[in-house]
Every structure is written in structure tokens, then in C-alpha cells.
Amino acid sequence: MNITINWDSLLQVFLAAVGFSTAIVGAFAIGVRLLTNAQHAVPGARKGKSKDIQREVVYRVLSYGAFSICVSALLYGIYLIVPYFHLDK
């Protein structure tokens, strides 16, 4: 019995796994940072400063966008793993 390994495909899978995991972790970290920035702008926004209100809204929208990237990657991974979703109906 002779087992051969396709090293090119193995390297391709490895690079894809490292790249996508880095991108997802990076998106989550950026989302946390933007949400923290939004929370720091809240005191000024409560005082009615328009610049702080705009900053808070922009930071929150961008952070929710980054979190939605993470959630969509998670749902896509679950879709790929669960065989029930791939049955012909």
C-alpha cells in the first residue's frame, strides 16, 4: 500500500486556513476597538456635542459591520460542516 500526499493542495489548504482565521480574528478585534471608541464618545454625546454624536454613530455602525462579518463566517462554517444542509430534497 503506497500513500501519496499532494503537497501543493496541503499547502493551499494551510494558507487558506491561516489567512481566513487571521482575517476573522482581525475583524473581531477591529469591531471590539470600534465599539470601545463609541463608548468613549457617549459622555460627550449626552452633553449634546454634535461631533461626539456623529463619532458614536459611525463607530457603532462600523463595529456592527465588523461583527456581522464574523457572524456570517461562523454561519457559513456551520453550513459547510452540517450535512443536513446538503441533502437533496
What pLDDT shows up at residue 14? 96
Per-residue pLDDT, 89: 59
Euclidean distance between CA atoms 56 and 49, whole angstroms: 11
pLDDT of residue 46: 83
**pLDDT tens, 4-34?**
999 999 999 999 999 999 999 999 999 999 9
Dump pLDDT digits (tens) for 35-85. 999 999 888 888 888 888 899 999 999 999 999 999 999 999 999 999 888
Distance of alpha carbon 43 from alpha carbon 88, whole angstroms: 54
Candidates 65, 67, 38, 64; CA nearest to 53 is 38
* Site of grid cell 470601545: 36
Identify whether the C-beta of residue 40 lies closer than 8 Å to the C-beta of residue 55: no
How far apart CA 73 and CA 85 sit, in angstroms, is: 16
Which pLDDT band holds residue 86 (cuts at 50, 70, 90)? confident
What is the predicted pLDDT for the residue at 44? 84
pTM recorded for the entire structure? 0.82
Contact 88, 43 (CB under 8 A): no
